[in-house]
Amino acid sequence: MIRAERMSAAFLELVRIDSLSREEGKIAERLVRELKALGSEVYVDDAGSKVGGETGNIIARFPGGRTGEPVLLSAHMDTVVPGRGIKPIREPDRIRTDGTTILGADDKSGIAIILEVLTVLNEREIPHPPVEVVFTICEEAGLIGAKHLDIRSLRSRHGLVLDSCPADSLFTRGPAADKLEFTVHGHAAHAGVCPEEGLNAIRIAAEAIARMRLGRIDAETTANLGLIEGGSAVNIVPDRVVIRGEARSHDEAKLAAQSSHMAECFETAARAHRLMKDGREIQARVEGKIERDYPRMTLGDDAPVVQWIKAAAATLGVSIACRKTGGGCDANVFNGHGLNVANLGTGMREIHTVKEHLLLREFEQTARVVLEMLRAV
């Protein structure tokens, strides 16, 4: 019943609409029109005004042909850079980028699947439970569209985010993440005339980083420092440097321990640097900020959506396994508010790179599974 060529054509049109984070206005306009044409109740929330974007999250409701608990289907509208002027290339088994931009399968493949499933349900008049659709903004900017969504307004408590790679994977476990920022304060001095009167903030930061556990910490935990900025000129001992990073873990205690370890490395390095000038002691110091970026995603095998997907896959004779991921997605936010939402793969590959592509067989399989799930729930 899924019309693969129609779905692929819709995907090709969607990826040609530029929609970087906070610039999702044009694609939102199109999606609102299509959702209304399918007979849904549609509204756009105020998340865009809160994050400085062109539009908010789209929420659409389809009544269905039978009573039952509503089911959530979600994907995000924004893409990463380089994402302007995408020129997709269709091949027999895939759609790929031309090598100058990303493709945008992350996550317009999810959007295209949802639209095709809704279209089939509508044109075939297939009885199904109420469906609630959420297309978010700014997922790639830190899940901030979902974070600004009023979850209390949603009627569904179970559902799917379509935003991951292999179609044979249902991601039911994802890590919590902390966002980290450390500002090292040293003391400025002329680097050639009196360097001994300065405290080099970059050096202090380097000493902290050198003793820090980073990368793969264990099977459940990772950590990274990804941004650093500071200094004003090569002939000035830098008095300030800012380092930003993250820590993630499937285990809350391990996450707390890793974030604390990273903070302590900076504190220890700063304590080791002081000087006397004009009869007073100048001590290097650190300002640290640790904030929870998003919560864990943890669904058991007995979660309704997991059972629904397993049953749909069995009916269709395809294999889908529950897996864990080291990444975060909107499902983390939904689960943090008490919903049970898993992340199903769409067939995208090499996302966030100019080699990104979408495997059409997997793309179609996911659409068939989602359709069967809604038909059978």
Same domain (yes/no): 196, 139: no
Same domain (yes/no): 136, 13: yes
Give the whole-angstrom CA distance, residue 36 versus residue 27.
Answer: 14
Cβ-proximal residues to 307 (8 Å cutoff; 6+ apart), any chain: 301
Same domain (yes/no): 257, 363: no
Q: Give the CATH number for residue 347.
A: 3.40.630.10
Same domain (yes/no): 252, 310: no
Number of domains observed in the structure of the chain: 2
Secondary structure of 194-238 in HEC code, one letter for each residue = CHHHCECHHHHHHHHHHCCCCEEEECCEEEEEEEEEECCCCCEEC
CA distances to 33, 163, 168, 309 from 377, rounded to whole Å, are 27, 22, 20, 10
Among candidate residues 259, 275, 293, the one where a domain is terminated: 293
Q: What is the pLDDT of residue 4?
A: 98
Give the total residue count for the chain.
Answer: 377
Q: Give the CATH number for residue 232.
A: 3.30.70.360
Same domain (yes/no): 286, 362: no
Among candidate residues 278, 293, 308, the one where a domain is terminated: 293
Active site residues: 78, 139
Those residues of the chain that have pLDDT short of 50 are none
Domain, as residue range, for 226: 176-293
Let me know if 138 is exposed, middle or buried by CB neighbors in 10 A (0-12, 13-18, 19+).
Answer: buried
Same domain (yes/no): 102, 27: yes
Same domain (yes/no): 238, 324: no
Q: What is the pLDDT of residue 238?
A: 98
Give the whole-angstrom CA distance, residue 191 versus residue 197.
Answer: 9
Among candidate residues 265, 293, 321, the one where a domain is terminated: 293
Give the whole-angstrom CA distance, residue 324 versus residue 218.
Answer: 14
Give the whole-angstrom CA distance, residue 15 versus residue 110.
Answer: 12
Strand positions, DSSP E, 104-191? 131-136, 158-164, 169-174, 176-185, 189-190
